[in-house]
Amino acid sequence: MAAGIRGVSMVELASAVDEALLGLGDGVTRVQRKQYTAFQRLRNFACVCPPQKAKLLVYLKVDPRQVDLIPGLTRDVSGLGHHGTGDLEVQLRTPRDVERAQDLFRASYAAA
């Protein structure tokens, strides 16, 4: 298994995201779909795509116009085709990115 940036494998990064999303509150369930993994409360609030070579993409139910987009971390994908639910794409490359995305994860969970 090839290590990603700074020696962190994408599998380890995906595991950290999985733990962060499941830990947001009671009643969070993980549903494996063909193209992505959905995290839901009453409805989907996060969709995690399979890891790419150097990044993990998470789509959140957060209005991109309501947050400060950070180049290289977040992007508005409303109107663009992608797998999963949500108009905010979060690109995770390191454990630090997962920490930086926590508030976005919480906002998406709260909206579900």
Query: Could you give the CA distance from residue 36 to residue 68 in angstroms, rounded to a whole number?
Result: 26
How, if at all, do strands 29-32 and 88-92 pair?
Answer: unpaired
| Residue 2: per-residue pLDDT | 45
Burial code of 82-93, b = ≥16 C-beta within 10 A, e = fewer?
eebbbbbbbbbb
Mean pLDDT of all residues belonging to the chain: 90
Q: Which residue has the higher pLDDT, 68 or 1?
A: 68
User: pLDDT tens digit string along 68-87?
Assistant: 999 999 999 998 887 788 99
| Residue 1: per-residue pLDDT | 41
User: pLDDT tens digit string along 13-35?
Assistant: 999 999 999 999 989 999 999 99
How, if at all, do strands 37-40 and 29-32 pair?
Answer: antiparallel
Query: Could you give the CA distance from residue 43 to residue 61 in angstroms, rounded to a whole number?
Result: 10
Q: pLDDT band at residue 7, thresholds of 50, 70 and 90?
A: low
Phi, psi of 8 (to 5 degrees): -95, 125
Q: pLDDT band at residue 98, thresholds of 50, 70 and 90?
A: very high
